Chains A and B, each alone.
Chain A
Amino acid sequence: MADTTNDEGIPQPEGASDIIETEYEIGQDNIETSIGPFGLDIHNPVFMISGLSVVVFVFAALIFPGQFETFFGWLRPALTSTFDWFFMLAANVFVIFCLLLIVTPLGSVRLGGADATPDYGYPGWFAMLFAAGMGIGLMFFGVLEPAYYFGTPWGDEPLGAARPFGEDGQIIAANVEEARRMALAATSYHWALHPWAIYAVVALSLALFSYNKGLPLSIRSAFYPILGERVWGWWGHTIDTLAVFATLFGLATSLGIGAQQANAGLDFVYGIPTSVTTQVLLIIGITAVALVSVLRGLDGGVKILSEINMVVAAALLLFVLFAAGAVTILGDFVMGLGAYFTEVVPLSNPFGREDDGYREGWTAFYWAWWISWSPFVGMFIARVSRGRTVREFVTCVLIIPSIVCVFWMAVFGGTAINDMIANPEASLVKANVIDAYKPELSLFGMLEALPLTAITSTVAIVLVIVFFVTSSDSGSLVIDTITAGGKIDAPVPQRVFWCTFEGMVAIALLLGGGLTSLQAMVISTGLPFTIVLLLMCFAIFRGLQAERQAL
């Protein structure tokens, strides 16, 4: 279980790095106390304020459900349709910034000092990258999104691509290839370079300021170049509290909504009726496994679960690939990759377009969503990325996951699209995505058309559930670290608290209503965080420059 980086003790020496000299001592604002028999070591006031504000918002959402739903139901779409250009331009900046880091000399800086060695090997590292922030989305959207863009008749088609189905539902053969090509390109656009660049920016800034500059592993540290010593005061408290708030509600609302979707899947596959009891049991089960995982720690729990998940996901991917016809699907992949490269520029240009449904309803929504998750995912990636050079880090967090995601979308989406055109009348994908919008059944509809449905559907449900566990456990570790003032060695009861708290918030919102309105609230935090991320790019640039001079 204990996987120390070096049997001989500390990797000696770690080499040159440019430590920021600050008056602040990590843990100086912490309170070490005990409640009953439980020892605590918590940051004052971030722990209390984030905890209490979550409770206040849960109660408010339960007491004024109507007002919450009206307000956030208006706010989120209002933000994404008004500021779609801002989200899109910012995301483009992140991608270009990351690509520049790979090719410029700044990329040679090593996270953790010039001579640091990587904490994790590639398999464990990649597994944790995917399992924390994206796995669950790949399961949910892998079939849904390409199928939707391919067949949608409701004006959401990307870049006004030709529609493959006529008014009467008959296939228009001439349009099929163009629609397929654009569906794969438009889906890949949302899952490849842009989201990973968002995560990479946050992760890189935290890793740099923590491992090389010696500041605590907390969101506020990334702001040191801009705010200076003020980050240790209320500026920093606010930034950290906002990050905890967004992470906790992001995880809890996804867990609640995810339980409803998993229930729909269980109903479809096994006929287990949709009921609140089943959903609450699912949340309790997911939280319980996540608890075991955080109790076993990063190496003994989180990493192992992530690796198991990756193996199972890869098996499902290969099964779909071969069951659906490897040659056709690999052709789709090559075509999808090519289409992505040719269409990524028009797709990421926010001006002079008429596809509002796609651009505002999907792209801007995704960007806000990725950005609101970025404090959590970025901090987790930072935690496991020590010892890599910036160039290696960006290549592995940006380029390789992008290719994996394009491949995943080509396999799941390509199979789903083939199913829709092979027999539009009988296609369950078409029935659940286009004819009636039941997104949670899209994946199962696709698996239904392939052999061994009973087995693959079960595997898919297990994967969905375990991906929730791997988000929940890594999220609890991140929240625990932020609320302990950047200490990763805080007493274990604290992480147990956050993990349990997240499950309880999910259950409260599930029972009382308010999951969707609070999720809309979380996604709305994407707008202020976009400004934060832009500032981070500047801070990273300055920080890396200083690092180069220290060499």
Chain B
Amino acid sequence: MFKRIMVPVDLAHVDRLNKALTCAADMAKQHGSEVVYVGVSAATPTSVAHNPEEFAKKLEAFAVEQGQASGVTTTAHAVTSHDPSVDLDPTLLKAVDETGADLVVMASHIPNVTDYIWPSNGGTIAGHAKVSVLVVR
């Protein structure tokens, strides 16, 4: 049913992603799809990597590790953004096209009052992506 499942990951907070990662891997197994992990990084040094190149390598390693653990085919797609706090949503939407994914599985927090002003990333992606989006809470 789905050929390629895109999973946005925040390498600084992998511990919060467990449910979404498991969910994506299970669905991939069931449909025989490929999982592509998308990571967005700033060009400046971050807690994850010193530079975009190192970030891409870490994301690659993450994808390999996930693939070995779950037994599905995995790839990585790293992107840089000038201002990740603000540009994350459009960057992810662009990544949906770039990766050719037909399903997005992403973790999101439980909505609270600020979501009226700043919608959650999951909410925005679900609202704007042309493909199916599964928001895992």
Contacts and interface: CB of A to CB of B under 8 A. Distances in A.
Our verdict on whether A and B bind, yes or no, reads yes
Interface of A: 1-14, 17, 19, 25-28, 36-38, 112-113, 119, 210-211, 214-217, 295-300, 383, 386, 486-493, 495
A491 B13 CA distance: 14
Given A14-B52, A211-B51, A296-B86, A488 B44 contact: yes
Contacts of B51: 14, 17, 19, 112-113, 211, 214
A297 B83 contact: yes
A495 B84 CA distance: 13
Contact of A488 (B42, B53, B55, B114): B42
18 contacts: A1-B86, A7-B94, A8-B98, A9-B77, A12-B53, A14-B51, A19-B51, A25-B47, A119-B82, A211-B44, A214-B45, A217-B45, A297-B82, A299-B87, A487-B46, A492-B85, A492-B86, A493-B114
Interface in B25-74: 41-47, 50-53, 55-56
A461 B46 CA distance: 40
A492 to B, nearest CB: 5
B113 interface: yes
Given A2-B90, A14-B52, A37-B112, A383 B44 contact: yes
A9 B97 CA distance: 12
B94 to A, nearest CB: 6
A295 B91 contact: no
A6 B114 CA distance: 32
A4 B79 contact: yes
Contact of A295 (B50, B55, B86): B86
A121 to B, nearest CB: 13
B114 A37 contact: yes
Contacts of B101: none
B87 A10 contact: no
Top 5 A-B residue pairs of the complex, sorted by shortest distance between their CB atoms: A214-B50, A297-B86, A2-B90, A298-B83, A27-B47
B42 to A, nearest CB: 5
A7 B94 CA distance: 9
A66 B56 CA distance: 58
Given A12-B56, A14-B51, A488-B44, A4 B85 contact: no
Nearest to A487: B46
A13 B53 CA distance: 6
A486 B113 contact: no
Contacts of A298: 82-83, 86-87
B21 interface: no
Nearest to B52: A10
A2, A4, A17, A217: residue with the most chain B Cβ atoms closer than 10 Å: A2
A17 B53 CA distance: 11
A385 B93 CA distance: 26
Contacts of A1: 86-87, 90
A23 B85 CA distance: 26
B118 interface: yes
Contacts of A6: 79-80
B94 A2 contact: yes
B10 to A, nearest CB: 9
B42 A10 contact: no
Given A37-B112, A492-B118, A299 B43 contact: no
B53 A10 contact: yes
A10 B78 CA distance: 6
A4 B46 contact: no
Highest count of chain A CB atoms <10 Å: which of B12, B55, B86: B86
A335 B121 CA distance: 57
A17 B51 CA distance: 10
A70 B77 CA distance: 60
A4 B92 CA distance: 10
Interface in B99-125: 112-114, 118
B35 to A, nearest CB: 16
Nearest to A215: B45
A19 B86 contact: no
